[in-house]
Chain A
């Protein structure tokens, strides 16, 4: 078999897996969306109020917090994975919770990675709202609450873009969730076509393990196509909201 045939066969089989809704592929995709989606929602619920507090209020330690957030935007995932791992292993301070190698641990790791990203981008969007616009709220009879609502409304597309950037980062992240999730799938023969159901195996971690096995590349190619399609959809949405701003 030539190298071109080898690649072609891999892609053909990959599309077969996708279009026949292979349960193994579907379960991995489901875990990815569930883990990254939940982490992003929780991160957004923390990041949006936090970015508003940073934009509108002065408090002690504000500058330190902003520095931490900026640093957090570039946190190495493997370091976050190691940190959560050390916290959650049986001998660690939170070992009693018995959460290591569970989707919860993966959500926690991604939450830590994504929160600074959404906060940082949201804060920039809120700060980009002109001061004159906030003053206009007051001149027209509005109060502080109206000013905050107006700023949220003006920065809405920037905040949505921030959430989508966070989701994109979570979906494509591999280092942290590999360490704390363990890349687990239930099956006697994990990795066979149509065999196995994911527990903590995601698109990215599965690509890592499936590729390292060698031989059959159709499964990692199928997973890669789905991952790219998901990220492309997220980016198209982000572009749409940026254009509307």
Chain B
């Protein structure tokens, strides 16, 4: 396939493009979904196609095709060139690429796992979901609905460009989730959920805390606990956020602002702020395509979709803004090192600046010390999503929480909404626990630029924050 891609590059250059990139995805996606006793979905998808980017005078044009024939790939290169050429006169800000040395991949760029999902049959994965649901039922109460999910994504990613790069590696994501809905005596519905994914072999789902019994049992137990939970009070309180919510905060509110496509246009409030203190010394945020997955979990991205090798970038170091996240064009424009953050959700989309694994750096507190430091306030746990505006204001939904008084957990809270401005919030980070966990997966992901869902990792330790606005009951 690399030969077909090389022909696309040559053809684009012949048409007049100053730089051409071509990539090929041949991915298999498998989804298993069971609701209560019914198998809603057992599906396999084959996602195979080619994307070509042509650069003309610092303007990119993109096209794609599901057909890997030389004829259709050349047609895609022609379309990409035509789009770039037609757009070039309108550009006021150009992001040209300077040719550099070529990149080559090796076999070790593909993360090895013990049990690759392609080595187990469908019945094995069906059993994982069945066991999850049974465990949820065993530990739950007043259950109205149980949903069990398993997903896997794996396959080949090949890339070349005008520099003669030759990159070939295998992508892998596996994931298992459980959602439980229970009904309170008053008729209100409450939820409990659990699950995790990342670049794992199936041996992960046999490890402590991650077995179907652990995942289903936790989801059932949490839904049961929610039957007696109270609404969160509205107002400003001290907060302790768990690893998963910290990850959403790192990704949604700070990570997106650090993406250099927002910086070169001036849209990000982090524009021109390299070297500025934005947070307390306890606040550090990294993005890494190559985390130590055995220790922390996460997603393995050894190359981005412009062929840049994955790396670890300290975006915020001890409260100081140190680096942005880049594609090649923005890195060159801002004279920073490329960070391996140019990613596309599939061959249908051009790569744009995206995060890989984004997480807060751990501190030195134990969980007990973190609760003591919180003193009185809200302990917010897990997240069902969040949103951020270009000015740094954010809103996140924690799935559940606890009201804490004088360092002691008092009672469970229902869904908790946290809001504020990330740049203000970073100045209120008071401490972090020693643990670090990165959550990634097949289900959900980043939705930037309508390219959804792109698997990303997000995480951190538990973090104590001085003051957060909570939406709730007056």
State whether these chains interact.
no
Which of A's residues lie within 8 Å of B, judged by CB? none
